[in-house]
Amino acid sequence: MVFELKSIYKDYMQGKDAVPVLKDISMQVEEGEYVAIMGPSGSGKSTLMNIIGCLDKQTKGDFIFDTSDIMLCNDRQLSEIRNQKIGFVFQNFNLLPRQSALENVELPLLYAGVGKRKRRQLAEEALRRVGLGDRMLFKPTQLSGGQKQRVAIARAIVNQPKLLLADEPTGALDTKSGEQVMELFSELNRDGVTIVMITHEPDIAKCAKRIMYIRDGQLHDGAFRASAEAPAAEQTETEAAE
């Protein structure tokens, strides 16, 4: 098991009032899975991603990541889990603008205390794996959006994390670059990388092997969506027959 959420609630305080944002969310992700979490804007996707990514804690419920009960972890333990067990990919890449692709990819290894020579070797391998072997010394400003996201993916996998966690990874990309990023995700998943990807785009979510839907802070699995969409599908068929 990579992680398990058990009846998770998250409230935000608005003045003295607690505003519920996540309501009774339970899900489990196993090694090798590729899961998309879909939902409209404001449904709680980023809030859920922050909890899964150990960037924020739930208000109520249990969250077990790998072997750790996250509610019981202090800040130092949480940052260690983030650094060593989770690779993050964000919509806007979050690369250091003045550092080369190679230096950006080396960064998590630097934090993890990996020596210089080994850092270089692993970062080069990761960049080759995402198809950027010929762009290692380029700075982010010299790269296209799709290339920047591939640098970010190389940085996310360089530590061989338990989980690759992506929030709207194609949100800032044109269709073609977005497709390339999705091909790369599928390739990584075939090689055994566990992926959880958050998106509001159905075409992107389809690339995953399992889709979960979040609406108003509540999670539904694929069956819910299929039944909700069935009438529309029948309609289209009827129209086509006429």
**Least Cβ distance, residue 230 to ligand ADP (angstroms):** 25
Residue among 45 and 129 whose Cβ is closer to ligand ADP: 45
Q: Does 42 bind ligand ADP (CB under 6 A)?
A: yes
Q: Is 201 left (phi over 0), alpha (psi -120 to 50) or beta?
A: beta
With tokens 């977005």, the residue in question is 178
x/- letters, 17..36, toward ligand ADP (CB under 6 A):
----x---------------
Strand partners, 220: 213
Query: How crowded is residue 170: how many other Cβ atoms within 10 Å of its Cβ?
Result: 26
AA identity, residue 59? T
Site for ligand ADP (CB under 6 A): which residue of 12, 30, 92, 133? Answer: 12
3-state secondary structure of 9: strand
Among 178, 124, 168, residue whose Cα is nearest residue 146: 178
* Identity of the amino acid at 196: V
Which range in 42-50, 64-72, 97-105, 116-124 contacts ligand ADP by CB under 6 A?
42-50
- Contact letters for Mg ion, residues 29-68 (x by CB under 5 A): ----------------xx----------------------
Q: Which residues bind ligand ADP (CB under 6 A)?
A: 12, 21, 39, 41-47
